[in-house]
Amino acid sequence: MPLQGKNIAIIIANEFDEQEFRQPYERLKEEGANVVVIGVEADQTLIGHHRQDEVATDASFDTASPDDFDAVIIPGGYSPDKLRLSQKAVDFVHGINQQGKLVAAICHAPWLLISADIVRGKMLTSWPSVMIDLKNAGAVVVDREVVIDGNIVTSRSVTDLPAFIQTIVNILEGKAKMVKAS
């Protein structure tokens, strides 16, 4: 299991995108990673955007520390917009980024990256409606399946999930490098 020993945080709130949560979660577990679902409260049942999935959080931002994780994955849906209202969630993402660890965000998730003030000068992609917010926050926005800029990986939507997940796995396995985008 290539990711054995890796601790991955997936952070969500209500109205997370079910596929953008479930597919990375299951793949990373299959690869041997320890995947921890973190929310504003521990042991809280959260409901997906399409009401097709319910997920219980394993931990809260009160107890989770960026020091304990190798990466954070942020699914889209309306969950990132809710998480950005939690200073502890914003601080968690900022802390992971400050340590140079992998920050992976898909679809609407870059909203949370904006709130964490980590997009300025970075090349990113997102769901189309979030692109203007990224530009206004100083990001260089492109329309690509996956963008890697330093330790930040972004993708646009559910259709990009296979490439998004494979990029995360490759980086965590050391098969791909986190480099400045061009």
User: Which residues are known to be catalytic?
Assistant: 107
Distance CA(70)–CA(45), nearest Å, equals 25
Could you tell me if 168 and 71 are in contact, meaning their C-beta atoms sit under 8 angstroms apart?
yes
Which residue spans within 69-108 are E strands per DSSP?
Answer: 71-74, 102-106
- Tokens 């699914």 — which residue? 75
Let me know if 132 is exposed, middle or buried by CB neighbors in 10 A (0-12, 13-18, 19+): exposed
